A and B are shown apart, each in its own frame.
Chain A
C-alpha cells in the first residue's frame, strides 16, 4: 500500500505535481478559471487566496472529488485524471479537510477499515501527533473537533502519501496542536515528500512553507517565496484591484457616527463568544474583524435571534430584548444577511417571491396578497439594487452576486432598522462587491445602523466607519476605520502581541 517515500524519478523531473489551466464551473458560477500549480518533491507549498478565489475547488479537483472542465494534471510527469477520491489516494494524493471526514457513527477503527488504512501505521502517526494509546473503539461523534482533525490527519499519513493536502486544518486547532501538525509536515518534507498547505494565517504560511501559489478569482496570479519577505506580495496578489480601491477610499476618510444608539450589546456569551460588549449607532457601519471561529458567528446569530445567548444582554433602543426566534429580532428591526446566500433564499421560487417573503411572515398576513402593491415594493428594491434579472425567474438560475442582492433586497422592501451583514460578499465578484459596499454605506448615511463582518479584512476600510476586532471570543480592539488598514487588523485579529497565544 505504502508508496516508496523517496522516488528519485519524481524529484529529477523537478515537479511532483504539475497542474495547469484547471477550470471548473457550476452552472453559471465560475469557480475556477485557469489555475496553475507546480509542487516540487520535498516541498511544503502554500495555496493562498481570498474566500471564493477557488482554493477548495482546486483541492477537490486534485483529490478526485470533482473533475475539472478543462486543464491537465501531471503527477510525477504522467498525465492523470482522478475520477474518485480513492483513485487519487492510490496515486498518493490525499487531502485532510477543515471539517474532518471521519464518519460520525462508525468507530475510529471502523473508519480505518472502511478506508483500508493500515492500522499500525495509523497508530504510529497518531503517537507522533501526541495521541499515543488512543482508544480506537471511540466514535467520532463523541470527540472534540481538534482531536478529530488529528485523527483525520493520522489516517491520511498512514497511507504514506506522496502529496498531502492540508485544507485549513489549522483553523480549528489550538496553537500547541498546530505546532505538532507543523513538525509532521516538516518530517514529510525531510523524507522527500510534498505538502500543499492551505491557511488564512499568513504567519503560519511564512513559518512553514517554501513557496506559495496565490489564486484570485479562479486564476493563479503568482508564485511567491513567503520566507523572504514575500508576505507583502502575497497580500497584494490576493487582494488585486481591491487594494487600490482601499487606497482610493482612504482618501475620503469616513467620519465617526454620532447618531442615537441602535443596539447595545452587553457582555454577550454564547459558545465561543465569551463576553462581548459594544454599541452600534444609527448612521454608522460598524465592522467586525475576526479570523474564522472567533465567536463572530455566534455574535451575529444571537443578535438575529437565530440562537439564544448563554448570558448577557442585547438592548434595542435602550430596552433589553430576548430573541427566541428571528421573528423577534425582525420585529425589533434587526435583520440578518447570512454569508451563505442559499441559506436565506428559496432556490426554486421567483425573485419576487423571495423578496416578498417577509411581507407574509405573520399570521395576520396569511390572507390574500395585493399583487399590485407587492409588485411595486419588489420593483423598487430590485431597481435600487440593480438586480440583473427578470423578476419572475427562479433564484437558483441567478449568479452568486445577484442572489446575494436578492437577499438584501428582501429587507430593503420589508423594512429594517439595523442590518446585520455576515460576510455578505463571500465568493462574489468584485463589481458586485463594490455595489454591495456602496449600498451598505448609503443605508447608513440614510440613518440605518449596519453591523458588518467580512472575512476579507482589507475590505473593512471600504465600507466601515469603525471596527471592532474579535479574537478568541473576546473583543480585543476597537479602532476608527482610518486606522484599520490590513496590517493593523491582521495583528489585532491574530490577538497580537503573542500570535501563538490563545
Chain B
C-alpha cells in the first residue's frame, strides 16, 4: 500500500463515522429535495422509531462480527422472542418479557456452545439454530396458541409511544443500550477481548485468554439483544406474528457492514452500526417516497452493500 493510500485509509478510518453521518444527512437532504417539507420533526421521530429495533438487532450482530463470526439466527430469535412474549403476556406481562428474553439467552447459549466449544463455523451453527428456532416456534404456535397473540399495551408503548410528542420511547432504550455497547467495547476487558479474538485467536490464546468463555458469553449477549429487538419491534408494528423480524436479518448484517465493522473481525464500533441502521431506515424512507417497488428496493440494498463493502476493503485494505 502506498503511503498516500495509507494516509487516506487512516483518515477515513478515524473519521468514518463523520463520513457516515454526512451520508445520512445527504439522504435526508435528498428527501427534502424530492418532497419539500417532508423532513420535519414527525419524520425524524418516525425514522428513529423504526431504526430502533434494527439498531438493537444489529447491536448483537456487531458484537459477533467483531469476534470474526456472524449470527444468522438473530432475526429468528427476535421473532420467537416477540411471539413468545406476546403469547405468555396474558399470564403476566413480566412473565412474557422474561420468557421472551430467555429465548434469546438460551439460543445464544447453544450458539455459543457450538461455536466456542465445538468449534463449529458460526455461519453454519447460527443458520442451523435459526432453523431450529423457527421450526420450534411453528410447532409451539400450532400446539399451544389458539390465535395470533396480541401485543400487551406496555410493549406497544415501548415500541411506538412517544414522549414530548416527538421523542420515541424506544429511543431511550436504544440510547441506553448504545451507550453501554460503545463504552463497553472500548473501556472494558470484555470489549478488548472481543476485538482481540476477532483479530487473532491464537495470539489471544497465547496471552492466556480462554477464548471460549468470551465467545460463549458474547453469543448469549447477542441472543439477548436480538430478543430485546424482537420485543421492541413487536411493539412498533403492534403485532407478533411468525415472521415478524425475518426481513431484518439481512439489514442487521448490512448495518454492521455499512457501519464499518470488518466482517473479518477485529475492528469496528457500535456507533458505526447505529448510524448504519439509521442510514438503512432513511434509505428505505427515500425509496418509499419515490414509490420504488419493494423489488427494486431489494436490488438497491444489495448493490449498496456490495459497493460499500468493496470501498471499505479497498480503502482500509488488509495487507
Contact = CB atoms under 8 A, between A and B. Distances in A.
A348 interface: yes
Given A359-B189, A367-B188, A396-B319, A348 B266 contact: yes
Contacts of B193: 360, 366
Contact of B192 (A342, A360, A362, A396): A360
Given A366-B190, A369-B187, A358 B207 contact: yes
Contacts of B199: 346-349
A358 B227 CA distance: 33
Nearest to B319: A27
Contacts of A304: 206
Interface in A292-329: 304, 306, 325-327, 329
Nearest to B193: A360
B189 A367 contact: yes
Nearest to A396: B319
Interface string B196-213: 100110111111111001
A357 B207 contact: yes
B267 interface: yes
B168 to A, nearest CB: 30
Contacts of B206: 304, 306, 326, 336, 338, 343-344
Contacts of A345: 200, 203
Given A327-B208, A343-B206, A349 B190 contact: no
A327 B210 contact: yes
B1 A27 contact: yes
Interface in B119-136: none
A78 interface: no
A346 B200 contact: yes
A360 B262 CA distance: 23
Interface in B255-296: 262, 266-267
A446 B317 CA distance: 43
B312 interface: no
A346 B265 CA distance: 11
Interface residues of B, number: 26
B174 interface: no
Nearest to A353: B192
Interface in B179-193: 187-190, 192-193
Interface string A70-85: 0000000000000000
A373 interface: no
Contact of A344 (B190, B203, B213, B267): B203
A348 B61 CA distance: 20
Interface in A209-237: none
A356 interface: yes
B266 A366 contact: no
Which of B200, B206, B319 has the most A CB atoms < 10 Å from its CB?
A: B206
Contacts of A365: 189
B195 interface: yes
A333 to B, nearest CB: 11
A356 B204 CA distance: 11
B187 to A, nearest CB: 6
Name which of A306, A343, A346, A358 has the most chain B CB atoms within 10 A of its CB: A346
B208 A358 contact: yes
A410 interface: yes
A346 to B, nearest CB: 4
A360 B196 CA distance: 11
A410 B207 contact: yes
Contacts of A327: 208-210
A359 B204 CA distance: 12
A347 B202 CA distance: 12
Most buried by A among B6, B192, B193: B192
Contacts of A336: 206
Given A27-B1, A326-B208, A360-B193, A343 B203 contact: yes
B208 A330 contact: yes
A368 interface: yes
Contacts of A342: 200, 203
A371 interface: yes
Contacts of B204: 346, 357
B195 A346 contact: yes
Contacts of B208: 325-327, 329-331, 358, 361-362
A343 B201 CA distance: 9
A410 B208 CA distance: 12
Contacts of A114: none
B5 to A, nearest CB: 12
A410 B206 CA distance: 11
A363 interface: yes
Contacts of A346: 195-196, 199-200, 203-204, 266
Contacts of B196: 346, 349, 353, 357
Contacts of A367: 188-190
Interface of B: 1, 6, 187-190, 192-193, 195-196, 199-200, 202-210, 213, 262, 266-267, 319
12 contacts: A27-B1, A326-B207, A330-B208, A342-B200, A346-B195, A349-B196, A357-B192, A360-B189, A360-B190, A362-B208, A367-B190, A396-B319
Given A344-B206, A348-B267, A357-B192, 15 more contacts: A27-B319, A326-B207, A326-B208, A331-B208, A343-B203, A346-B199, A346-B204, A349-B195, A349-B196, A349-B266, A353-B195, A360-B192, A361-B208, A363-B213, A366-B193
What are the 3 closest A-B residue pairs judged by CB atoms, nearest first?
A: A360-B189, A330-B208, A346-B199
